[in-house]
Structure 1
Amino acid sequence: MGDVFRIGDTVRRNAGEWTPAVHRLLRELRSHGVDGVPEPLGTDDVGHEILTFIAGENLASAPPATLWSEQVLHDAGVMLRRIHDASVGLVDAGLIWRSPTRHPVEVICHNDFATYNLIVRGGSLAGVIDFDFAAPGPRVRDLAYLAYRLVPYAEDSPEASGLDRDARLRLLLDAYGTDASPRRVLKAMSDYLGELESFTRARAAETDRTDLLDHAAMYRRDADRFGGS
């Protein structure tokens, strides 16, 4: 969605009208003791936002033993709950976000809380990055997409055969601490994937990247699999 580059211990990317809201969210999370999220350091003289670099390995690229670790799954649920709880005070703050508000509004959703935005060190969950698309919304939205990518339910999940997905979903929901039923989470997953399909098709049209159409088609197939759950 834009150029991202590293300079020393900082990460730079193009800022937008949503950047002040994202930076306020990150400061709020850190003030509540949420470890492993970038610290905002303002903007540079050419309009790039500046964030601290979170050292470690991208979970999506980690070995299967780490990627599908039950401990990582549990810790991701715990981290998501801490982020949500710490964000509640910003729900009615009148901030400008990049993504639309979704109802019922309960927290500030990350809106892309997935393996490719989770960081691990030494096989343990260490942090989460890329809050650019954060916006007010329901807790189950983030929880559903995390389940899609980490239980996992995604059609393109690498080397995930043999996992007990029902048990892993229960583990994730328990770690988060929700009374949402698996059925509700799977329905929220289907709704999210329907939105993601439309978003991806629009991006394909904007960028002439025909490869994105394959992703969009996968999101539609996966959405249809869980739409009746």
Structure 2
Amino acid sequence: MHDDSPGTALTGGNMDPVVRVGDTVRRVTGPWTPAVHALLAAYETAGIDETPRALGIDVAGREVLTYVAGDILTELPPDAQWSRSVLVAAAALLRRLHDASVPFVELDLPWRTTSHEPVEVICHNDAAPYNLVARDGALVGIIDVDMASPGSRLWDLAYLAYRIVPYVEDAHGYEPGRDGARSARLAELVEAYGIPVPHDEVLRVAVLRLDELAEFTDHRAAETGRADLVAHAAMYRRDAVRLRDLVGRSTSDG
């Protein structure tokens, strides 16, 4: 029987409250929940130990997931957060998630967010350091799968690149001299994922992702009145401008 106490609020949860109860995590459910739980079961069947397991629904109507123990990557010291080994492991894990999700592409399931063509896999849609869990310097988990939906491999990979290479404006503590130049880190990320793709194409898709994310975040800010979301949307737009310029210079150079 599940412990149905209110629990302790966890950080994050920009969409909905997330709480920890013992060794479980509780969060709101919706029409998308059965699809997400089936996806988590597919990850388990594929031998992916880094994702939560779905344990059902509690009496309060919240989904019950196993708690992935460790530290959120963004809460670690910069040398650990921007570790090249973690970058490589994150890309390899994303590839495994995508490969395990391929059978879901042909299923007509209700997902929480919209699909993005070309549909190849089920995207996590928020693969980023704030959803990655580490222990003793090693990547051990990825959480917050509730925003998953069909899309291309590159849609997910480009956002991971934006966040972990990093190209995001608020990449606190990142030092190219210690952590590697962005161009080298992007090359490592793409190689670790394992599908050859031009690096400027990764950045081009990242721009599309940021344009959509800025609009989505503006809507969330209007719904919630949260000033921090307004600031986030503005940052995404500034980052998109910089990445467009970077792609443009790359194209003109060759």
User: What TM-score bracket applies, with the shorter chain setting the length?
Assistant: over 0.9
Give structure 1 regions of 4+ aligned residues with deviation exceeding 3 angstroms.
Answer: none
Shift of 1:64: 1.1
Write out aligned runs for 1:106-117 (5 A).
Answer: 106-117=120-131
Distance in 1, matches of 2:235 and 2:111, equals 28
Partner of 1:184: 201
Taking only aligned residues, the RMSD between alpha carbons, in angstroms, comes to 0.8
Partner of 1:97: 111
Structure 1: 5+ residue stretches without partners: none
Which of structures 1 and 2 has the bigger CA Rg? Answer: 2
Partner of 1:159: 173
Question: Is the counterpart of residue 119 in structure 1 residue 133 in structure 2?
Answer: yes
Distance in 1, matches of 2:196 and 2:17, equals 39
Q: Which of the residues 80, 83, 94 maps onto 1:80?
A: 94
Partner of 2:10: none
Distance in 2, matches of 1:71 and 1:210, equals 35
When the two structures are superposed, what TM-score results if normalisation uses the length of structure 1? 0.98
Q: Which of the residues 37, 57, 63 maps onto 2:77?
A: 63
Q: Which of the residues 156, 164, 184 maps onto 1:150?
A: 164
When the two structures are superposed, what TM-score results if normalisation uses the length of structure 2? 0.89
Shift of 1:210: 2.0
Distance in 1, matches of 2:58 and 2:158, equals 36
Greater CA drift, 158-167 or 10-19: 158-167
Q: Could you say what secondary structure the match of 1:227 adopts? A: helix
Q: How many residues align?
A: 229
Q: Which of the residues 210, 230, 239 maps onto 1:213?
A: 230
Q: Could you say what secondary structure the match of 1:216 adopts? A: helix
Distance in 1, matches of 2:228 and 2:190, equals 33
Q: Could you say what secondary structure the match of 2:122 adopts? A: strand
Q: Which of the residues 191, 212, 222 maps onto 1:195?
A: 212
Counterpart amino acid of residue 240 in structure 2: A
**1:87-137 Cα shifts (integer Å, max 9, x gaps):** 000011111000001100000000000000000000100010000100000
Identity %: 52
Shift of 1:161: 3.1
